[in-house]
Structure 1
Amino acid sequence: MATMTVIATTAVSDHLRGALTRWMTEPMPGLYIGTLSARVRTELWSAVAASIGDGAALLLHPDANEQGFTLHTAGERRRTPIDFDGLTLIALNPAEPIDDETELF
């Protein structure tokens, strides 16, 4: 059964953008929305993850869990999804490592 799927991208190639627009609508630059079967979604995400380069991408689709969705990421991002007892939470990684001698307050 086909379900609503959202893919958000940052700094990806034109080739990848073209591949995504074959299956999905791009209402804003880097944001793709479509109704895809699980098989098409999996194949499309595999292509995205394999050709992400220096960019980043996020896939969001409905799933049978407490939150009602599943989140996948590819590429380097400051925000990293983590599993916390079955819930997906987002950990914000600092842009630069904090020096031990730097006062935080």
Structure 2
Amino acid sequence: MVVIVLTACPTGLRGDVSRWLLEIAPGVFVGHVTARVRDRLWERIVDTLKDGRAIMVFSARNEQHMDFRVFRSDWQPVDCDGLQLIKHPNESDEQESLETFAGKPRRGWSNAAKYRRARRYGKRPGE
């Protein structure tokens, strides 16, 4: 079983892939082909794809019973003790870029922070 997801790809490439696989949604192709066809199809996708992204998931004989390939994606596959995992982009980098764009938010500005301060410094019963 092979699943290929293409984003921002030329229409000619979608036509080439649809010769071998069934397009079940725009840019999502599913089918069952041999390993040789799958590898040549992936080479064709990588050569033809200009600015888009591609992800291919296929059946394999390993513990996960699947393997995948990624082309021009922010999420990268990582081998962790024989298991393929996906490494997401660092969220702290995204948060820092937001802070530099909009300025750093003040500490204690939310209602939750105000309630927390009120509980901490408020009078306690019996005092």
TM-score (norm 2): 0.70
Write 1 or 2 for the structure with the bigger share of helix: 2
Q: Which residue of 2 aligns with 1:81?
A: 77
The answer on whether the counterparts of 1:52 and 1:74 sit within 8 Å (CA) in structure 2 is: no
Percent identical among aligned pairs is 33
Is 1:32 the counterpart of 2:38? The answer is no
Q: Which residue of 1 aligns with 2:117?
A: none
Cα distance in 2 for partners of 1:19, 1:74 equals: 18
Write 1 or 2 for the structure with the bigger share of strand: 1
**Which residues of structure 1 form unaligned runs of 5+?**
none
**Rg comparison, structure with higher value:** 2
Which letter maps to 1:79?
W
Count residues with an aligned counterpart: 100
Cα distance in 1 for partners of 2:34, 2:68 equals: 16
CA deviation string 1:23-66 (max 9, x = no partner): 11001011000110111111111000111111000111111111
For residue 78 of structure 1, report the CA deviation from its aligned partner.
2.1
- Given candidates 24, 41, 45, the residue that maps to 1:48 is 45
Cα distance in 1 for partners of 2:40, 2:92 equals: 34
Cα distance in 2 for partners of 1:96, 1:17 equals: 36
Which letter maps to 1:84?
C
TM-score (norm 1): 0.84
